Amino acid sequence: MIYKEELIRTMNWLGSLPNTIFLGQGVQFNGHSIYETLKGIPDDKKIELPVIEDSQLGMSIGLSLVGYIPVSIFPRVNFLFRAMDQLVNHLDKIESMSNNQFKPFVIIRTMIGSTNPLDPGPQHKGDYTEALRLLTSKVVVLKLREPEDVFKSYKWVYEQRKSAILIELPQ
């Protein structure tokens, strides 16, 4: 079992489900390694965005509240920090703030940057898994260490309808 093949299989499975929509940088146009895992998803289920991480997560939350299941893609964990207000003060708290009237379900896909073949520098390879766990109480944070973790983790999140950050490792 190869990690990338599991990511492709999992994304194709998610893409086949009703109401899923994929948004972020590099979902329709090549720009990072995540793009390669999204080729089997129909273009009408993809929304290509510029570098607007905070707006991207805000859009994802809004889409979830009207019935979509957004897979919000942040090419690096470091980039997700541009959306901390949306993550910590909104996605993680909307259910409590609304007396359980709103239950957003957003799947956040991100990865720790690779240092091979080139080191991308400190702002592209951070592992902030534990920090994200400390910052959130309702959003599940999962690190996908092995290929066999990939499908089962995304499937569990989907079945539980829990907003989650799934952190992939470099390959």
What tens digit of pLDDT does each residue of 88-119 get? Answer: 999 999 999 999 999 999 999 998 866 666 66
DSSP code of residue 112:
P
3-state secondary structure string across 27-80: CCCCCCHHHHHHCCCCHHHEEECCCCHHHHHHHHHHHHHCCCEEEEEECCHHHH
User: What's the number of domains the chain is made of?
Assistant: 1
Task: Tell me if 45 is assigned to some domain.
Answer: yes
Q: Whole-prediction pTM value?
A: 0.94
| pLDDT bracket for residue 120 (50, 70, 90) | low
Task: Tell me if 120 is assigned to some domain.
Answer: yes
**Mean pLDDT of all residues in 31-45:** 90
Task: Tell me if 126 is assigned to some domain.
Answer: yes
69 alpha-carbon distance from chain centroid: 11
Task: Tell me if 154 is assigned to some domain.
Answer: yes
CB within 8 A of 110, min separation 6: which ones?
A: 73, 74, 75, 76, 77, 79, 80, 165, 166, 167, 168
Q: Which residues span the domain enclosing 88?
A: 3-159
CATH number at residue 113: 3.40.50.970
Task: Tell me if 70 is assigned to some domain.
Answer: yes
Task: Tell me if 38 is assigned to some domain.
Answer: yes
